[in-house]
A = this chain, B = another copy of it.
Amino acid sequence: MTRFLSLPNALVLAFFTLFIAMTPVAAQSVDINSTIITTLEAIGAAASDVALEGGASEEEAALAASDAISTIVADTFGDRDAKIFNTLLFLIGGFLVMWMAAGFTMLETGLVRKKNVSMQALKNIALYSIAGLMFWLVGYNVMYGGEAGGFIGTFSPVNFPAVGADTADDGYSVASDWFFQMAFVAATASIVSGAVAERVKLWAFLAFTIVLTGVLYPITGMWQWGGGWLAEIGFTDFAGSTLVHSVGGWAALAGVIFIGAREGKYGANGAVTPMPGSSIPLATLGMFILWMGWFGFNGASQLAMGTIADVGDISRIFANTNLSAASGAITAMILVQLIYKKVDVTMVINGALAGLVSITAEPLAPSVLQTLFIGGVGGAIVVFTIPLLDKLKLDDVVGAIPVHLLAGIWGTMITPLSGSGTFATQAIGVIAIGAFTFVASSIVWLILKATIGIRVSKEAEALGLDKSEVGVEAYPEF
């Protein structure tokens, strides 16, 4: 125990020095460095002594020392780059998904009438702010603080690691994961915002948002991503066709049912009055923002970027996400040309979005042909169901229900095509999450209706919510 040991020791330490040397504060490193070197030498010596006492040869003792040291080094420093990459993935994915809040805002301000544009802007700023607050206060721990196979986590605020206190123990920084997941919750509330536009009361909508982002979404989220009972039975939803989009869609559907259609939208004998949006370029911008943000939404849902396999998979996800959106847009475009002889750009916008929602349940496994099929059907769903909703007198202002609920269900049910989940597990997940969200949302909407009211007066609606609720016209000089 000495001569031979010293060699691996020296080399592992050389190796280890390299990692230490990467810390930016050189002076500080030296102290830490020498402390750890001393510690490692002690560990190596101890391991070697144990081996020798156990009758090992000098060579075997040296090996034992080396193994002990290398294990420590790997445990302590081996995950460094991987954790940085993983956390960076959440941060980049997070700001891209946060950016989707702007996308929903532009989409919705573009698709509502001029007199309700400021209200739509306000609702989206407010819901994104509330989502952030609620998902810190209770949401994150309701979703991720539960036990395996369970139904709900704990109602408690998140504790972020203290300054400088992150270690390699988890694969990523909790604060980065919180940020990324928080942006998802906000997307769910945005979906509701679009559907009930142009007649919902501001504070009723915000009250609903508080419950949705703090409790409802986190509960069903817990069932799957929180490791709950759906995860145990084998349900799969990679980035949230069901957990995010359908949940938003179900909450929106309940809202649309209980709030009723806009004044004048549906006349006698099935007459439908078109109420075209105020700005197509803003709606288009919103779609592009959402498309861009979806690379974060789906890509960072890989949850890890510290290996070549992971970053390769993220690349696959980027490609599939893009191709599914393209397929949805092109399919919608061809269908509206065939059916209506003109190409309604709002259908193409929603076709692209439906393509994105459809691939979200499984953006990694499908081949390109499968992806094109999945996204294309999503686009077709939009073209065929938007008129259907009008037949049912469900007044969904921006097409949120076809895009997020129906394409979300489609995307979730088709994952077995590429080998993820079974039709049975997927159906159970879709139904369970749908039933819970629809019933719970309905209860919340009904309570709000019975108390503060969820709909503005007829006069206020005719005047426009910008004047009645916001006090600021969106385009005062136009």
Contact = CB atoms under 8 A, between A and B. Distances in A.
Given A281-B121, A469-B342, A330 B176 contact: no
B59 A6 contact: yes
A71, A166, A311, A477 pick with most chain B CB within 10 angstroms: A311
A19, A109, A312 pick with most chain B CB within 10 angstroms: A312
A86 B305 CA distance: 12
A281 B105 contact: yes
A55 interface: no
Interface stretch (A76-84, A227-235, A256-264, A438-446): A76-84
Interface string A429-457: 00000000000000000000000000000
A301 interface: no
A291 to B, nearest CB: 7
A155 interface: no
A309 to B, nearest CB: 5
Interface string A310-349: 1111111011001101110110010001001011111011
A98 B292 contact: yes
A21 B19 CA distance: 15
Given A117-B280, A161-B312, A17 B66 contact: no
A118 B280 contact: yes
Contact-residue size bin, chain A (C-beta under 8 Å from the other chain): 35 or more
A88 interface: yes
Contact of A17 (B74, B163, B278, B473): B74
Interface string A131-158: 0110010000000000000000000011
A83 B160 CA distance: 26
A380 interface: no
Given A85-B84, A105-B281, A98 B306 contact: no
B278 A74 contact: no
Interface stretch (A89-97, A192-200, A242-250, A395-403): A89-97
A221 to B, nearest CB: 18
A345 B281 contact: no
Interface in A4-42: 4, 6-8, 10-15, 17-19, 21-24
Contact of A71 (B17, B202, B316): B17
B471 A309 contact: no
Ranked nearest first, the 5 interchain pairs of A and B with the lowest CB-CB distance are: A166-B312, A14-B70, A342-B471, A102-B288, A21-B78
8 contacts: A7-B7, A88-B311, A91-B299, A125-B352, A128-B326, A281-B474, A285-B285, A343-B470
